[in-house]
Amino acid sequence: MYGNLSITEPVRGVEQEDPEKLAEFEERIARGEKIEPHDWMPREYRRQVLRMVEQHAHSEIIGALPEGTWITRAPGFRRKLALMAKVQDEVGHAQLLYSAAETLGKPREQMINDLLSGKAKYSNVFNYPALTWADTAIIAWLIDAGAIINQTLNAKGSYGPYARALERICKEEAFHLKYGYDNVVTLASGTAKQRQMLQDALNRWWKPILHFFGPPDHMSVHSEKLLRWKVKMASNDEMRQMFLDAYVPKIWELGLTIPDPNLRKNPETGRWEYSDPDWDEFWRVINGNGPCNRERLAVRRMADELGAWVRRALLKPDHRYVEPLF
Amino acid sequence: MEAPVQATIRSLDPRVTRLGIPQELPEFTPKPPLDEWQTYEVFHQARPGEQPVHVGTVHAPDPEMALVFAKEQYARRGTTYSLWVVRTADIYAFRSEDADIFATVPEKTYREPQDYKVVQKLLRLKRKSHGSSSADAPASP
């Protein structure tokens, strides 16, 4: 699961590239060709793709933590097995994505250093706690739904290794979505208390879900170049609209209330309108001041430190680092 | 004198609480190079009789561990018959700058079966031999 390359950095330095090579590169992308690791690419393309894939990898590895919280107390053995499988999938996605990012010339150790030192960003939603079992159901259904929208689009992006990793990832996400939906429908069909638990979880997650696709287009850096390079495949607002189109009716169908009195589809524009989901909070959390930022980082660091002696014991003097091929 | 008790992280996850992780993050020590070992390229064979296909890489300290990680990452769904791993450093590959070395291959159509219009030739031959059978008949001894 993952949000968008939610905060886009301005594209810079393209004018310093060889114009002939740049034109050829852009033609290849326009023809729908994939760019492979050893192909010529503008430095800025490399930087932006690396940043995006790396951020995605961090999101997967941190994303395992909020849901992992409930493994010990999953209601029933089958759900426990399924939740463990989902959390394992997420960690596996991080591995695939770190490998894809590595092909752009940044060794994995450096990426993990940036995550553990707090320098790197990851998806904001994972800085919120999963307070109840219903929260895990909402995460698995709606956050993964958002991730699928984003990833299915990006799987058609221009960078070969990332597109291939996403294809594999999307297949696994399909299970996450269905598993989450199953849990949500189970709670919605349950007792009044269970229904309330589900409604409370939806209330807590609604804003983070809207945040998930990144800041609105009018607040984001102009990313026309990234769209042309097929680094970004749709704008943040476009993806948010796709999500609302597909999932608001499904949420209403369950008899749940979406905690926004202004949410409606404008029949004239065909676009969803909604209240401002507090973008100040989004910036506050992404800059390290969310409810769980500190815990997420501390747990990840602890996991890394606890495994350090094993990694060092198995390191052999003839190990050699080379960039992965694909 | 007793050391001051450091506050530890209390999490919704009881396992995290039990770890007793200090609230204050200690100074971060970066990982040294190769802390995550070297990489292996992974080839996946779905069924007997099918070609193994390159699917990606894993970081591992040795080939046996590479196979274990490859199973976890690339054989999570669907069918798998076999996995191969090989050290990335041991692979030699053409660089994309040399891709033009293959450029003339499609031009060499004389190596393709469809470049040989035998049927037309054969029909011509047949037409010719039926039309003037006596003239074209081999000379009698």
Q: What is the identity of the amino acid at A175?
A: F
> Is B132's pLDDT higher than 70?
no
Q: What is the DSSP letter of A287?
A: I
**pLDDT number for residue B137:** 52
Cα nearest neighbour of A167 on chain B: B55
Lowest mean pLDDT among A215-219, A251-255, A298-302: A215-219
Q: Are B38 and A319 inside 8 Å of each other by CB?
A: yes
Whether B84 and chain A come into contact, CB under 8 Å, resolves to no
Whether B4 and chain A come into contact, CB under 8 Å, resolves to no
**pLDDT number for residue A63:** 94
Chain A residues with beta carbon closer than 8 angstroms to that of B96: 36, 38-40
- How many CB atoms within 10 Å of residue A3? 27
Mean pLDDT of A212-220: 89
> Is A313's pLDDT higher than 50?
yes
Is the residue at A321 inside a domain? no
> Is A279's pLDDT higher than 90?
yes
**pLDDT number for residue A2:** 56
The Cα of B35 is separated from the nearest Cα of chain A by a number of Å equal to 6
Q: Are B13 and A72 inside 8 Å of each other by CB?
A: yes
pLDDT in tens, B18-68: 999 998 888 899 999 999 999 999 999 999 999 999 999 999 999 999 999
Whether A297 and chain B come into contact, CB under 8 Å, resolves to yes
Chain A residues with beta carbon closer than 8 angstroms to that of B55: 168
A272-273 vs A264-265, strand pairing mode: antiparallel
Nearest-by-Cβ selection for A99 from B22, B54, B57 = B57
- Residues A187 and B18: their CA atoms lie apart, in Å, by 30
Whether A312 and chain B come into contact, CB under 8 Å, resolves to yes
Structural domains counted in chain A = 1
Q: What is the DSSP string of A205-254?
A: HHHHHHHTT-S-GGGSPP-HHHHHTTSS-S-HHHHHHHHHHHHHHHHHHT
CA B20 centroid distance within chain? 43
End-to-end CA distance of chain B: 128
CATH number at residue A219: 1.20.1260.10
- Residues A198 and A213: their CA atoms lie apart, in Å, by 23
Q: Are A38 and B36 inside 8 Å of each other by CB?
A: no
Mean pLDDT of B103-115: 93
Is the residue at A320 inside a domain? no
Domain boundaries, chain B: 35-99, 100-131
Averaged confidence pLDDT in chain A: 93
Longest dimension (CA), chain A: 67
Averaged confidence pLDDT in chain B: 89
Quickly tell me which residue has 């079992």 as its tokens: A133
Q: Give helix A160-188 / helix A192-211 axis angle, nearest 10°.
A: 150
Mean pLDDT of A146-159: 96
Percent of chain A with pLDDT over 70: 97
Q: Are A92 and B73 inside 8 Å of each other by CB?
A: yes
Which one is predicted more confidently, A250 or B141? Answer: A250
pLDDT in tens, B50-64: 999 999 999 999 999
Nearest-by-Cβ selection for A109 from B16, B36, B57 = B36
Q: Are A294 and B23 inside 8 Å of each other by CB?
A: yes
**pLDDT number for residue A12:** 82
Mean pLDDT of A129-155: 96
- Residues A46 and A56: their CA atoms lie apart, in Å, by 15
Mean pLDDT of B82-93: 94
Mean pLDDT of A171-191: 96
Q: Are B61 and A96 inside 8 Å of each other by CB?
A: no
- Residues B115 and B113: their CA atoms lie apart, in Å, by 5
Q: Are A311 and B32 inside 8 Å of each other by CB?
A: no
Identify the band that residue A324 occupies on the pLDDT scale cut at 50, 70 and 90: confident
Cα nearest neighbour of B28 on chain A: A117
Question: Per CATH, which fold does B35-99 belong to?
Answer: Ubiquitin-like (UB roll) (3.10.20)
Q: Are B89 and A130 inside 8 Å of each other by CB?
A: no
What SS3 state is found at B57?
strand
> Is A196's pLDDT higher than 80?
yes
> Is A7's pLDDT higher than 90?
no
- φ/ψ region of B34 (left if φ > 0, alpha if ψ in -120 to 50, else beta) reads left
In total, the C-beta contacts within 8 angstroms joining chain A to chain B are: 131
Is the residue at A323 inside a domain? no
Is residue B40 within 8 A of residue B88, CB to CB? The reply is yes
Is the residue at A175 inside a domain? yes
Is the residue at A198 inside a domain? yes
User: CA dihedral in degrees (A280, A281, A284, A286; nearest 10)?
Assistant: -110
pLDDT in tens, A69-114: 999 999 999 999 999 999 999 999 999 999 999 999 999 999 999 9
Q: Are A297 and B31 inside 8 Å of each other by CB?
A: no
What SS3 state is found at B44?
strand
Q: Are A113 and B30 inside 8 Å of each other by CB?
A: yes
Q: Give helix A144-154 / helix A236-253 axis angle, nearest 10°.
A: 140
Chain B residues with beta carbon closer than 8 angstroms to that of A39: 96
Chain A residues with beta carbon closer than 8 angstroms to that of B42: none
Q: For chain A, positions 10-69, list CB contacts with chain B under 8 A.
A: 36, 38-40, 65, 68-69
The Cα of A92 is separated from the nearest Cα of chain B by a number of Å equal to 6
Chain B residues with beta carbon closer than 8 angstroms to that of A113: 28, 30-31
Structural domain span for residue A36: 14-314
Is residue A323 within 8 A of residue A102, CB to CB? The reply is yes
Residue B74 structure tokens: 């690339």
> Is A30's pLDDT higher than 90?
yes
Is the residue at A8 inside a domain? no
Q: What is the DSSP letter of A256?
A: -
Contacts of A241 (CB under 8 A, 6+ apart): A271, A272
Contacts of B69 (CB under 8 A, 6+ apart): A95, B58, B59, B60
**Helix residue spans in chain A (DSSP H):** 19-30, 43-68, 77-102, 108-116, 133-138, 144-154, 160-188, 192-211, 224-228, 236-253, 279-284, 293-314
**pLDDT number for residue A4:** 47
Which one is predicted more confidently, A12 or A216? Answer: A216
